[in-house]
Amino acid sequence: MLTLAVVLLIPLATTTTSSFLKTHDGMTVPAYRRNHPFLIMGTMLQLMGVIIAMNDIAFFIISVFCNLQSRLRLSVMGSKRLFPEVWADDDQMSGLMSMIKVREVNPNDYDRKVEFWSDMIAKSCDIEKNSIFTIDILKRRFRRGDQLPGSLDVIIQHMLDTGEIITLDDYKARNQNWLQRRYKSFVGSLLGATSDNQTEYVHLPTVQKHADNMLEFFRSEYAVDDDMLPEIVDSAEFFDECKNLVANKKAYDVALTELVNRGEITIGSSKIGEEILKFRDNSARGPIKWTESDASVHDMRRAMSKLEHEIKRLELKAKKAEQDARLYIRQGDKNHAAHYLRQKKRALKEVEAKDNQYQRLLEMMQQLGRTKQNKQILDAYKAGADAFKATLQRQGISPEEIDETMDNIGDAMATAEEIQDAIAAGVPMSATDELEAELNAILAEDNSEIDLMIKNLPDISPEKSSAAGSVKTAKVTVDDSIAARLKRLREAALP
């Protein structure tokens, strides 16, 4: 405002109140002839004032624009919860925006600023859906009015040391062979090193999140159609489908590299050089391999897509020809109407031919899908048989042991039946004749023993006759006792 006042006052100070002045002899002359040196000086001062005023106005406009841009970014990003509540505190943000001193001087301040800005970088990468950034990009993201973060280089170095980020060149070098690395190093030496502010960094946690989201998107949108070999996908088509997951092609390529490192996909090329993705099949074992048959499947899909577009184009052409024919019929021009009707028939004939081609390709694709399913079923059968055999072997079960066990069970059951039959039959009774014969044999043996004893006795005198009589009496007594036993046995044997 002061500059504008000076600009307005300069003409008043350098010009007279009248455009003409009177001389000493009474003549009037133009004023510029009397004070032209002052007029020239005033004009120069006026021009300088205008220039200064323009600079002030330009600076004012730029400041207003920057403030509006900052407020707009604050409102937009704040809605996404990028900036914390402390972002609105001028005093605290002034300290966080200031330069970071070495940790030995003030450990608490160093740790607080490093933690704050590391978290801000991670959140910004997540919200922007871009895992790649430079220091210049961070300055634009975190501009607060006319303030810029003062120690982003220190924060970046800390994140490099902790492994949270890595340079994009190093990230690519991890996935290149030695020849590619040597070639890139040679080219880099010719071109020279880039500025630190332009060095691209990769935020690894964001890359991992993008890779997880892309893999989940494939499983939910592509893998459901198991009859059409969904694991083979055109990379350009997949990128178009994933635009809501990643910010740009560079972030998409970095996420693909992460999936390759995990072993979830492999990248191949078609016969015409198109980039093709092959996702891991759940039934596949070992690393994923790109084969010529995979390229053929992609070519078949490409041909089917072209046939679909051709069929749609011909159908529209036939529809338009029919409309033109109807128009000429209403106008009474039968020749043109017949021409468009013939054009419609030719288009429909081409549609039929291309539809037959499409159906043949579709049948081939479905047959390939069924072949894969049949192989999976056969592999499941083999796995089940191997598991059953392993279980039998682990439990010590074999067909021979089973046969032997079953034979032993049969023998045991037969023995049990015999025992049961024997118990049910009861105690058998001996026949009477057999019992009497046995008793007579016992009696005969006893009598023969007694007779033998008598024969062996010496002759005795009359005095001893009485003793002999007593012996005879004893014999009769023995005979009577045996007879009594026999009688009792006979009575017991009778029913």
pLDDT tens-digit series, residues 368-422: 777 766 766 777 778 788 887 888 777 777 777 777 888 888 888 888 888 888 7
User: CA torsion 454→459→465→468, rounded to 10°?
Assistant: -10
Q: Rounded distance, CA 114 to CA 129, Å? A: 22
Q: Environment class of residue 291 by beta-carbon count within 10 Å: exposed (0-12), middle (13-18) or buried (19+)? A: exposed
56-64 long-range contacts (CB < 8 A, ≥24 apart) are 56/3, 63/146
**For residues 208-225, average pLDDT:** 87
- Model pTM above 0.85: no
Is the per-residue pLDDT at 166 higher than 90?
A: yes
Tell which wins on pLDDT, 196 or 272. 272
Confidence at residue 10, expressed as pLDDT on a 0 to 100 scale: 44
Confidence at residue 312, expressed as pLDDT on a 0 to 100 scale: 94
Q: Rounded distance, CA 260 to CA 266, Å? A: 6
Residue in the block written with tokens 């105690």: 427
Query: At 428, is the pLDDT very low, low, confident or very high (cuts 50, 70, 90)?
Result: low
Tell which wins on pLDDT, 379 or 199. 199
Write out pLDDT tens, residues 302-348: 888 899 999 999 999 999 999 999 999 999 888 999 999 999 999 99
Tell which wins on pLDDT, 292 or 70. 292
For 163, what's the count of Cα atoms within 13 Å in the CB-facing half-sphere? 0
Is the per-residue pLDDT at 437 higher than 60?
A: yes
Q: What is the mean pLDDT of the chain?
A: 75
Most confident of 14-23, 160-169, 426-435: 160-169
Write out pLDDT tens, residues 30-83: 444 444 454 556 566 666 666 666 656 655 565 555 555 544 444 444 444 678
Query: Strand pairing partners for 147?
Result: 144
Instruction: Report whether 199 contacts 157 (CB < 8 A).
Output: no
**Least confident segment among 10-14, 78-82, 174-178:** 10-14
**For residues 113-138, average pLDDT:** 92
Confidence at residue 423, expressed as pLDDT on a 0 to 100 scale: 80
Retrieve residue 324's tokens.
Answer: 């033109």
Confidence at residue 320, expressed as pLDDT on a 0 to 100 scale: 93
Most confident of 42-46, 256-260, 361-365, 403-407: 256-260
